[in-house]
Amino acid sequence: MTSVAVIVFPGSNCEYDAVTALESLGARASLVFHTAEDLSAYDGVVLPGGFAHGDYLRPGALARFSPVMGALERFVAEGGPVLGICNGFQVLTEAGMLPGALQKNRGLTFLCQPETLIVASTRSVLTRAALVGQELVIPINHFSGNYTCDESTHRELVEYDQIVLRYRDNPNGSLDDIAGISNRAGNVVGLMPHPERAMSTLLGSADGLVLLNGFLGRQSALSGR
């Protein structure tokens, strides 16, 4: 994969982190405004973190009505890889492209800290270069990252291997320690942690490399740390 669209909603604020991270891996990453109605020129799409449309009403709720979401639905239907990071994950759940919802953190605390994640499935576009059971240190930065869904949805997530990443030490009350999930096909992934901010040991962790390299369809030279 060489060409990735990073969608910019009014209020997105991690789009440059995402572009910088993807370009450091040799991809061509473009900022694409939320009014775009065609994503067919791209090989992958990233919905970055931030506060899309101010996160008014509920995080991600208003972004569902952005023009780009129709194009995103077509992109997903054709099997294109889509990654929602933090607010991007919230947008994907609100849009119904991923099951469940993200609630306010247990204890109503804004959390900004590194977390150890455990790879639960390598069937997704994000984790395909990682190993099941692999531990990755990736920072979180959110107020509403408490994943929740009803029991039957949770059973399906387990049955279809859609739980992609779990927290080792659950920081926010997420059901079943869930940090990230995929759709049934595995081409749409949402996670609350920020792999684009774990690209260099100088800055705390390079464990985002195995995830973003996987997203770009490459085996990571650094998988396994």
Partner 1 sequence: MNYAVRVDVTLRSGISDPAGATIERALPALGFGGVHRVRAGKLFFFEVDAPTPDAALDVARGLAERLLSNPVIEDATCALVEG
The residues annotated as belonging to the active site are 86, 194, 196
Least separation, in Å, of the C-beta of 143 and partner 1?
Answer: 10
CB 119 within 8 A of CB 161: no
CB-count burial class (<10 Å; 0-12, 13-18, 19+) for 188: buried
Amino acid occupying residue 6: V
Site of interaction with partner 1 (CB under 8 A): 57-58, 61, 65, 93-94, 99-101, 103-108, 146, 148-150, 173
Q: Which of 137, 135, 171, 174 is nearest to 157 (CA)?
A: 174
DSSP 104: P
Amino acid occupying residue 149: C
Helix (H) or strand (E) holding 28: strand 28-33
CB 80 within 8 A of CB 5: no
